[in-house]
Chain A
Amino acid sequence: MRAALQSLVRRQHREVRAVDEISFEVGQGEIVGFLGPNGAGKTTTLKMLSGLLYPTSGAAHVLGHVPSKRERDFLSRITLVMGNRNQLQWDLPALDSFELNRAIYRIPRPQFLQLRDELVELLDVGDLVRKPVRQLSLGERMKVEVVGSLLHRPRVLFLDEPTIGLDVTMQKRIRGFIAEYNRRYEATVLLTSHYMADVEALCKRVVVIHHGKLLFDGPLARLGDKFAAWKTIDVELQDGGADLSGYGEVVESDVGRVKLRVPRAETARVTARLLAERDVTDLTVEDPPIEDVIEMVFAQEKT
């Protein structure tokens, strides 16, 4: 209450930078995962790159255009799909919305019909596009939404949580479709997702941001090297009850099988010791799962 009254007299302003000096390039045909916790600035960046937001400073170039100018040629060659946003006419079958997109993007009819049928077949939505959109489930709507977003055959796809709220089968289907679209049309894809399965299946390269700043830009496989200070060693032993706590932190222990967590630098030495000192029947050294790595990245950033 006091703050509310105070704001009548003296309004306070605080500048918060949603995105701060992020710099990266994406080549044609690349699929890049854009990772970060909630509020990291991922969606803000996508919105800037797709021309929705006007940056207060800095420069962005997509397909040779400055996105914030929102030129027709630029908007005709990109798409932004947001998993929680509906762009179709609610009361009509998606086919009518597709027809509207044909007119908006000035797609010649034969080309439109060919691509529409191709996409409808790829995502197996032949029946769904004839029902009013309001009657579709979330997953069904997302599939037809994706078809609608690609009818103008965009060269650059900004996908913001395209699989959010979908079941595993549907997620897999959308993932497969994105990969196929990328392969078939050599489209560039920038993808944000909280589902690491999306990122692992589609992206060789990831860009990680947090608090609006760039933390990592490189191959997904190298993310673990940089941020995970440890590896896991899965050991199967003849002697089921052996105590391996002297080799590292025991994460899991089952009859004849132990999972150890060891510092990355010690991995080779510990492995050699285990093989020399114990009756090992099987041994696997693994990087931690990508979800854990991402968690570590953000945890390190907080401290």
Chain B
Amino acid sequence: MSAVEPGRARSLLDYYLTRGRTQIQSQFQYRVATYMWLIGMLAEPIVYLIVWTTIAEQQGGEVQGITTGQFAAYYIVWTLVRNMNIVFTPYGWEWRIREGELSAALLRPLHPLHDDIAGFAGWKFVTILMWLPIAAVLWLLFDPVLDPTLLEVAVFSVAIWGAYLIRTMFLSTLGMICFWTTRVSAIFELAIAVELLLSGRLVPLPLMPDWAETVAAWLPFQWSFYFPIQALVGDYSTRELLGGLAIQALWIVLLTGLTLFVWRFAVRRYSAVGN
């Protein structure tokens, strides 16, 4: 007699909730380390913020229409969006393939990507909770201009999860290169460099040259970084906000399709080494 019951969607939801909960439990055991790590990650946006604030002050209080208060808002929201962008990396794929750690996941009647998505999603809840006091301190220090509408808050709340899925699928596809070559760091570093420039992570996209903005429009990076930030701090119309979510959804579908397509061939190359 089989021990399995039907109802795929309900079962999947049950799995996501259970996996998310176990991840939250795990993560809370390392809350001090997580806090240190969150604080350590602040260095990057604070450097960007100080640089742009200094430039803006030298140019009469703004750079291409972006005021110091808007820069502050951008980079404070940046810290949360950056956390949402942390997903299972190609280095993780390299490790799990080289060490045979993927074996346990492959033995389960569930695609390993579900485990990655659910596990990191659980982790996000912990980091969001821990981020709130950090954001409050940054708010007091940098005096941001932020006055979002209810719709902007709602779109932002959805968009950060869209960003999470886009980046998960993008980096999973990249990570799966490890099924063909053992060391993926060179390719990964190159992709991260392109992403850094064309996502809005280094600078808000309107400050980039026109050609860079044109290239960025055809890539997924801004939809996992610039768009969620701007949804909250920018001045998008309702059409732009909902259109942005639709484009995010399109990228999720495209990248998920690509990930699953590559996976079909990649998994055949798994050698389950390590024991």
Give A69 to B26 CA distance when docked, in angstroms.
Answer: 33
A107–B271 CB distance below 8 A: no
Supply 14 A–B pairs (Cβ within 8 Å), ascending by A. A53-B272, A54-B269, A73-B2, A73-B4, A75-B109, A76-B2, A79-B107, A100-B22, A103-B15, A104-B108, A104-B110, A106-B4, A106-B5, A106-B7
B3 contacts across to A, CB distance below 8 A? 76, 105, 107-108, 111, 115, 152-153
Give A85 to B101 CA distance when docked, in angstroms.
Answer: 9
A53–B271 CB distance below 8 A: yes
Min CB distance A199 to B, Å, is: 20
Known: A50-B107, A75-B109, A84-B275. A105 touches B4 (CB 8 A): yes
A52–B26 CB distance below 8 A: no
Min CB distance B169 to A, Å, is: 21
B54 contacts across to A, CB distance below 8 A? none
A178 contacts across to B, CB distance below 8 A? none
Interface size on B, residues (CB 8 A): 32
A106 contacts across to B, CB distance below 8 A? 4-7, 11, 14
Give A115 to B6 CA distance when docked, in angstroms.
Answer: 19
A54–B22 CB distance below 8 A: no
Tell me how many residue pairs across A and B have CB atoms closer than 8 Å: 97
B267 contacts across to A, CB distance below 8 A? 54, 70
B11–A103 CB distance below 8 A: yes
Nearest B residue to A83 via CB reads B275
Min CB distance B85 to A, Å, is: 24
Min CB distance B86 to A, Å, is: 19
B214 proximal to A (CB < 8 A): no
Other A-B pairs beyond A91-B25, A104-B15, 17, CB < 8 Å: A47-B272, A52-B107, A54-B268, A54-B269, A73-B4, A76-B109, A85-B104, A91-B29, A92-B22, A102-B18, A103-B11, A103-B15, A106-B7, A111-B3, A115-B3, A152-B3, A153-B3
Known: A72-B109, A87-B104. A82 touches B5 (CB 8 A): no
A107–B26 CB distance below 8 A: no
Chain B interface residues toward A at CB < 8 A: 2-7, 11, 14-15, 17-19, 22, 25-26, 29-30, 100, 103-104, 106-110, 267-272, 275
B14 contacts across to A, CB distance below 8 A? 103, 106
Known: A89-B26, A103-B18, A104-B15. A75 touches B268 (CB 8 A): no
A107–B18 CB distance below 8 A: no
A43–B22 CB distance below 8 A: no
Known: A92-B26, A99-B22, A103-B15. A108 touches B5 (CB 8 A): yes
A77 proximal to B (CB < 8 A): yes
Give A198 to B32 CA distance when docked, in angstroms.
Answer: 46
Q: Which residues from 94 to 130 on chain A have a C-beta closer than 8 Å to any C-beta of chain B?
A: 96-97, 99-100, 102-108, 111, 115
Q: Which residues from 44 to 72 on chain A have a C-beta closer than 8 Å to any C-beta of chain B?
A: 47, 50-54, 68, 70, 72
Min CB distance A133 to B, Å, is: 11
Min CB distance B22 to A, Å, is: 5
Min CB distance B140 to A, Å, is: 35
Give A92 to B11 CA distance when docked, in angstroms.
Answer: 22
Min CB distance A257 to B, Å, is: 45
Give A73 to B208 CA distance when docked, in angstroms.
Answer: 52
Give A91 to B123 CA distance when docked, in angstroms.
Answer: 14
Q: Contacting B4 at CB < 8 Å: which of A43, A51, A76, A99? A: A76
A258 proximal to B (CB < 8 A): no
Nearest A residue to B30 via CB reads A91
Q: Contacting B107 at CB < 8 Å: which of A73, A75, A96, A102? A: A75
Q: Contacting B108 at CB < 8 Å: which of A75, A107, A108? A: A75
